[in-house]
Amino acid sequence: MTISNKLRSLFKSVESICVLTGAGISAESGVATFRGTDGLWAKLKPEELASFDAFLKNPDIVWEWYNHRRQIIQEVKPNPAHFALTKLETLVKDFTLATQNIDNLHFRAGSKNVLELHGNIERSYCVDCGRIVADVIVTPEKKIPHCSHCGGIIRPDVVWFGEMLPDGVFEKATNAAQRCELFFTIGTSAVVYPAAGLPLTAREHGAYIVEINMERTEISNIVNETFLGKAGEILPELISIMEQERRQAV
């Protein structure tokens, strides 16, 4: 793999890294993406499944859909890109992984400092009392789960269209982007805001921006370095180069 001298130099001494991941990294594990010609939103209208209004109108349909998605996600496994990021976290003092994905694969791979910008499909909560519910069972006979504490309807702990991000999560991601020396944007179309603004924030504060994606994106022209291809192939190789550079620098 050919990398720039600047990136090679950064690998030797960098101690603050921020990463943004999107659907592309999970697609390599078999999790279907939402955008693109073959994405889920090309087949289904998002406003029918991913909004609070839709949930109030048809909670049984929304829960059936998310239960199906949850079962698919529980069957897939983290891929080499997820594990490479877990390794990267151990190499620097300050590491933040902000993800737009709701599939829990980063945590399952062993990453620790993960900011879930759009929630986690494996969690749920009561819309009335706010209690977090870890295990929700949805069956043909019981399509709508209710809170055992107050009786309120339980919903998936994911961010739907028109909703705010979880309290404090984006602020933490922004702070990480502002202070990092090196920023990776991986498997994201760079069109979903506010997450798409994180690499721009990092760039404004002097960070070196590296993009890894299957194809060029909206921000490809402003990043410092772009690697086109599978993150599961590119990331492990980059981390290997970084480890080698750091050993030689000692």
Catalytic residues: 118
241, 214 contact by CB (below 8 A): no
- Name which of 154, 132, 150 is nearest 142 in CA terms: 154
- Name which of 227, 226, 223, 229 is nearest 208 in CA terms: 223
Q: Is 197 helix (H, G, I), strand (E, B) or coil?
A: helix
Q: Is 72 helix (H, G, I), strand (E, B) or coil?
A: helix
* Rounded distance between C-alpha atoms, residue 194 and residue 33, angstroms: 19
114-116: strand order across its sheet: 114-116, 94-99, 16-21, 182-186, 208-213, 225-228
- A 10 A CB-CB count for 60 gives 13
199, 183 contact by CB (below 8 A): yes
140, 68 contact by CB (below 8 A): no
116, 99 contact by CB (below 8 A): yes
